[in-house]
Structure formats: C-alpha cells, structure tokens
Amino acid sequence: MQTPQDGTGHPAPADATAALGTRDRILATTARLLQHQGYEGTGIKQIAREAKATLGSVYHFFPGGKQELAMEALQHGDREFAELLRTVLATVEDPADAVLAAVDAFADALRASGWTDGCPVTTTALETTGTSPEIQEVCAAAFRSWQDAVHDKLRTAGIPEPDARELAVTVINTLGGAEITAQVFRDDAPLRIAGRHLARLIRTYR
C-alpha cells in the first residue's frame, strides 16, 4: 500500500520522482505544486498530469479528495524540511554559528532553485486560514516541529528555559519571513542578514 508495485513495469525515466510508486509520486508532486502555487492555484488534474498518474489513481489513493491529498503532502514536506534542519544544525557545535549555517544553507538552496523553493507550507497555510481548520492544524504542527528542532539544539548548547523556547520561535519566524522576502526580491541578502542577526541575538543569551 505504501510502496505498491508498478503495474506496467516500465523502468522509470527522467526526473527524480519517476522511480517512486504511484502514491509517493502523487504526494511529492502535490507537495511541490502546493509550495509553488498554493492550494487554490493547484488543480487535481494538474497534479495527476505532472505526477504521470491519472485521476482514477489520485482518487484511489486519496479518497478524501483534494483536502486529504493536501494534508498528506504538507506533512510530507514538513518531515523533509525538519530532517534537513536537524541535519544542518548538527554540523556546527556552537548554536549561534549553527543557526547561521542553517540560514546560509537555505539561502543557497533558494538561490539554486531560481528563487522558488521557499517554505513548503507557508503559501498553503496563509490561503487556508479561516477556510480549512484541518489544513491549518497540519501547518501549525509543521511550524512546531521546526521550532522543536531549533529548540533541541539551543538546549543541548546550554541555553536555559524559557529563553531557548522563545529563541526557537523567533528563529523559525525570522527564517520564514526572510525566505519570503528573498523570494519576492529574488535576492538572498535578506536571508544572509537574518542569519547574522539571529546569531548575534543568540549570542546575547550566555
């Protein structure tokens, strides 16, 4: 069910998602499209087309329709981002330097993507506040998991409560805000500046 065999057996050409099972291909494509175009701007038929699946398959795997599909895709993107965040934070011992490294890494990634691969959930989160509490809750959980990643790093580095918790909140907020600004300006300077300011702020807590 989670990794069904490929019915036709054709051996996966071209892009990164092609090697996955149909369900995972739909999920990855949905996550990407939601990130770029938001919930309302992304159609089920477009998802099916780009995932090289058919409408029947989409509704077979996600009988809850667009909303269920979006929720699972957002969780998919959440987990991927959280893992990346934890990995990068672990490469540097000092917490301020680690946050700086993480922000710089995201700046690199954003630039490399042509200023399109920002936060995987913000776009959808903003569109659906007030419209769909279920989706909003998934987005809230995503933010929480990223805050937790930063929080764990700060705690391990010896920063006490409640400073560690509050700093974690601000780090994620500022990272998110800077990523939006960087996307809109097509310039990574806002992210670089944010990294330096966050490092400076963290260093005032020891």
Partner DNA sequence: AGCCGAGTAGAGCGTTCGTTCCAGAGCTGT
Partner DNA sequence: ACAGCTCTGGAACGAACGCTCTACTCGGCT
Contact residues for a second copy (CB under 8 A)? Answer: 36-41, 114-116, 118, 122-123, 125-127, 129-131, 136, 139-140, 143, 166-167, 169-170, 172-178, 180-181, 183-185, 189-190, 193-194, 196-197, 200-201, 204
Interface with DNA (CB under 7 A), residue from 55, 140, 184, 189: 55
* 84: its two tokens: 């990346």
* Comparison of 27 and 191: residue with beta carbon closer to a second copy: 191
Choice between 92 and 126, CB closer to a second copy:
126
**Judged by CB under 7 A, does residue 123 bind DNA?**
no
Nearest partner of 74 among 42, 45, 105, judged by Cα = 42
Note whether 4 binds DNA by CB under 7 A.
yes
Residue 70 CB coordination number (10 Å) = 25
Distance CA 149, CA 127 (A): 26
H or E stretch including 163?
helix 163-185
Helix (H) / strand (E) element for 3: namely: none
Residue 66 touches DNA, criterion: CB under 7 A: yes
